[in-house]
Amino acid sequence: MKRGQLYAFVTGIFFLSLSILGFIPQLQHPINAIEVHNGLEIQLGYLFGLFPTNPVLNTVYAIVGILGLVSSIGLGGSRFYGRGLFQFFGVLAFLGSLEPTNTFFGFMPLFGSNAVLYGLMSVVSFYFGFIDSPGLLEIAVEPPENAIAIEK
């Protein structure tokens, strides 16, 4: 497993875990009414008292996590996943840092520590999507994991 594939796998596990834990109400702390400026009646809370979350955001995390697990199967898919996460989380970090769009127009909270998390994920995803790529010689020299040695 290459580093890009490992990154996609670990990222998938991380976001799938955030999604599952976000649906557990005992792990959420309520958000003050002053902080929420949306017209929708969506359950909001801080996961572990740190990350603002709601069911829509938990669903997005689940999709990102499942895509990470699926893309970790191949090297090309994991690089494509890294490139996609760079763009996706870059946009979310930018929207989360602006006051009018920090709740994604009332659907999911992008403000606070979520914006910081998205910025960090965007930078790391840029590295694994665009910079860290094994050379052809490195790929060609390694035998497949399921190869059987043939003796002469």
pLDDT digits (tens, 9 = 90+) for 47-93: 988 999 989 999 999 999 999 999 999 988 999 999 999 999 999 99
For the residues 143-149, what does the mean pLDDT come to?
Answer: 65
CA within 13 Å, CB half, 98: 9
**pLDDT at residue number 42:** 62
**pLDDT at residue number 59:** 96
Distance between CA atoms of 56 and 37, rounded to whole angstroms?
16
* pLDDT class of 115 with cuts at 50, 70, 90: very high
Least Cα distance to 112 among 35, 56, 38 occurs for 35
* pLDDT class of 145 with cuts at 50, 70, 90: low
Structural tokens at position 80:
């494509």
Helical spans, DSSP H, in 35-105:
55-71, 75-97
Q: Tell me which DSSP letter residue 108 carries.
A: S
* pLDDT class of 34 with cuts at 50, 70, 90: very low
Q: Which residue has the higher pLDDT, 150 or 84?
A: 84
Q: Which residue has the higher pLDDT, 150 or 63?
A: 63
Distance between CA atoms of 23 and 144, rounded to whole angstroms?
40
Distance between CA atoms of 7 and 9, rounded to whole angstroms?
5
Distance between CA atoms of 72 and 2, rounded to whole angstroms?
9
Helical spans, DSSP H, in the chain:
3-22, 55-71, 75-97, 113-126, 136-141
pTM of the model: 0.81
Structural tokens at position 102:
């920090």
